[in-house]
Chains A and B, each alone.
Chain A
Amino acid sequence: DIQMTQSPASLSASLGETVTIQCQASEDIYSGLAWYQQKPGKSPQLLIYGASSLQDGVPSRFSGSGSGTQYSLKISSMQTEDEGVYFCQQGLKYPLTFGSGTKLEIK
């Protein structure tokens, strides 16, 4: 199975701050990576797919990058509504696997 390792497990950021979350795959996933945001009590929402493609309706302050085994999600200017848990997911091989999540809070 492809293991997805996310870091950090949690972080707090001030309004307007730039935030970066990392995700490492245990093998090359050829940019087959997605990012999801989950707010408390809600289901996850797709933010980024294909490592860097923005899902329709997602604010442009979210961006994704990376290749091979290393990927990152950047929020260019933290907003209050960005609080939540962020998960990465590899879509290359079965079983489809997720990272353990990064909890993002406002400082």
Chain B
Amino acid sequence: EVQLVESGGGLVQPGSSLKLSCVASGFTFSNYGMNWIRQAPKKGLEWIALIYYDSSNKYYADSVKGRFTISRDNSKNTLYLEMNSLRSEDTAMYYCAKGYYSSYIYFDYWGQGVMVTVSS
């Protein structure tokens, strides 16, 4: 059974940093691209970052480019999201999601999410 378990969220002040983790199990982690997707309270879904299976390529939404960094450790089956210069608009539930690739990119498994609240 595929499982994705996020951790590392919490309440932080504007301008601070936070690092999220997502531990994967039930599939060969090193074979798949992975994503972070967020959802502000009562809002829709926003894809924010993708990393290739071998970390060779990374892509970001403009809203987080230059502030957030996606990374992975295939030896630990773990995906990371390092978030710097946090703003109130970064307040959201953050999901890690396994990539499903045909000629297009979809998300076939999602974690339960971890809440990040940016507030003074």
Contacts and interface: CB of A to CB of B under 8 A. Distances in A.
Interface of A: 32, 34, 36, 42-46, 49-50, 55, 87, 89-92, 94-101
Interface of B: 35, 44-47, 50, 59, 61-62, 95, 100, 102-113
Contacts, number: 61
Question: Chain B binding site: helix, strand, loop or mixed by DSSP?
Answer: strand
A24 to B, nearest CB: 15
Closest 6 CB pairs of A and B: A91-B104, A32-B104, A43-B110, A96-B47, A91-B105, A98-B45
B50 A32 contact: no
Contacts of A97: 47
A97 B112 CA distance: 20
Contact of A43 (B46, B61, B105, B113): B113
A86 to B, nearest CB: 11
Given A43-B111, A49-B100, A87-B44, A95 B62 contact: yes
Contacts of A34: 104, 106-107
Given A87-B45, A96-B50, A49 B106 contact: yes
